[in-house]
Amino acid sequence: HSCAFCIIPDLRGKLASRRVDAVLREAEKLVAAGTKELLVISQDTSAYGVDIRHEEREWKGHAVRAHMTDLARELGQLRTPEGDTPWVRLHYVYPYPHVDAVIPLMAEGLITPYLDIPFQHASPKVLKAMKRPANEAKVLERLKNWREICPDIAIRSSFVVGFPGETEDDFRYLLDWLEEAQLDRVGAFRFEPVEGAQANALPDPVPEAIKEERYARIMEVTERISAAKLQAKVDTRIPVIIDEVGEPDEDGDIGATGRSQADAPEIDGAVYLRNVPATLAQGDFVTVEVEEADAHDLYGVIAG
């Protein structure tokens, strides 16, 4: 999409899909070398293969299309040398209708129940000004359906506040939409002009003070939603991948930091563990009993 506030398509050109067998070969090598988590990232992952008409390539004795669903299914078949299924996380997925087809793969455990969908706003007027495709009411219905198919699915998104022409009514519409959508992870950004972006020429710029006030309000709403969702995980057991193991403290206790399936590296929350065994290593998968939660992170112990 050539969004009004973005210049990436102007800098890098139109979407260009890699051959599906090349992507799978790269992933296979990573997993064979011990990689436990694969992040599928592109400018628009859900448009993968459109430019090459979803061409088929031979892979492991059968034909595979250059299509997000087919790619995700094949990635879910990979195994580490220890026999583990690596986590496969999809980023930058626009909510096209065919995205519905990957949700059953998550329910089956083939890929990680996590979708990063850059909604950017909910107000139809603002989305039109942004030159972004959307049907915010339909999206809410689809989120409901996805959660029925895969109750564990985590939805991450990002939003821009203070876009030129955004009124208080537009912003309240966004807040109301967020209350209904109940997204798991949300990032928010104040609109800033980018040299060469079409949005710079739009009328009715939003004053900086109002941008700041709206940013604070959206963060308050999304943090409250996040805190409630994480609190609901207390006293449950969840799978966690270990990112870092600490040194023993003065009592000999060792702590560790990991992430749940709802947490992508560097952008989402963490799971902090206490009293872990000295044999625990980066990349290990463990089952964690969650003891506490705040607005961003979980705290617990490895389940006995």
Q: Is residue 1 part of a domain?
A: no
Query: In the listed set 187, 205, 231, which residue is the last one of a domain according to the structure?
Result: 231
* Spatial distance between the Cα atoms of 248 and 277, rounded to a whole number of angstroms: 10
Tokens read off for 76: 């879910």
Q: Are 198 and 56 within one domain?
A: yes
DSSP letter string, 55-79 = -EEEETTEEEESSHHHHHHHHTT--
Q: Are 225 and 266 within one domain?
A: no
- Residues 239-255 have pLDDT tens digits of 999 999 998 888 889 99
Q: Are 45 and 156 within one domain?
A: yes
pLDDT band at 147; cut points 50, 70, 90: very high
pLDDT of residue 43: 82
- Comparing CA positions, the residue from 276, 244, 275 lying closest to residue 257 is 244
Q: Is residue 277 part of a domain?
A: yes
Query: In the listed set 179, 212, 231, which residue is the last one of a domain according to the structure?
Result: 231
Q: Are 176 and 291 within one domain?
A: no
Q: Are 115 and 27 within one domain?
A: yes
CATH number at residue 46: 3.80.30.20
Q: Are 214 and 260 within one domain?
A: no
For 207, which DSSP code? P
CATH number at residue 247: 2.40.50.140
How far the first Cα of the chain sits from its last, in Å, is: 48
Q: Edge to edge, what strands does the sheet with 114-116 contain?
A: 37-40, 87-90, 114-116, 154-161, 185-190
Q: Are 113 and 258 within one domain?
A: no
* Spatial distance between the Cα atoms of 197 and 175, rounded to a whole number of angstroms: 26
210 touches 171 (CB < 8 A): no
Give the side-chain half-sphere CA count within 13 A for 86: 28
Q: Are 223 and 259 within one domain?
A: no
* Spatial distance between the Cα atoms of 214 and 219, rounded to a whole number of angstroms: 9
- Residues 156-207 have pLDDT tens digits of 999 999 999 899 999 999 999 999 999 999 999 998 866 655 666 666 788 9
What is the share, in percent, of the chain residues with pLDDT greater than 70?
A: 90
What is the share, in percent, of the chain residues with pLDDT greater than 90?
A: 71
Q: Are 103 and 155 within one domain?
A: yes
Helix (H) or strand (E) holding 34: none
Q: Is residue 224 part of a domain?
A: yes
Tokens read off for 212: 């700041």
Q: Is residue 223 part of a domain?
A: yes
42 touches 73 (CB < 8 A): no
Q: Are 169 and 281 within one domain?
A: no
pLDDT of residue 5: 45
Q: Are 174 and 281 within one domain?
A: no
- Residues 17-53 have pLDDT tens digits of 999 999 999 999 999 999 999 999 988 898 899 989 9
Query: In the listed set 231, 248, 276, which residue is the last one of a domain according to the structure?
Result: 231
* Spatial distance between the Cα atoms of 269 and 84, rounded to a whole number of angstroms: 23
Provide the number of structural domains found in the chain.
2
pLDDT band at 97; cut points 50, 70, 90: confident
**Interacting residues of 180 by C-beta distance below 8 A, sequence separation 6+:** 140
Q: Is residue 3 part of a domain?
A: no
- Domain containing 287 equals 237-302
Angle at CA of residue 34, ends 33 and 37, nearest 5°: 120
pLDDT band at 7; cut points 50, 70, 90: very low
Q: Is residue 148 part of a domain?
A: yes
pLDDT of residue 282: 94
- Residues 47-83 have pLDDT tens digits of 899 989 999 999 999 999 999 999 999 999 999 888 8
Task: Report H helices in the chain.
Answer: 8-12, 20-32, 68-75, 103-107, 124-130, 136-149, 168-181, 208-231
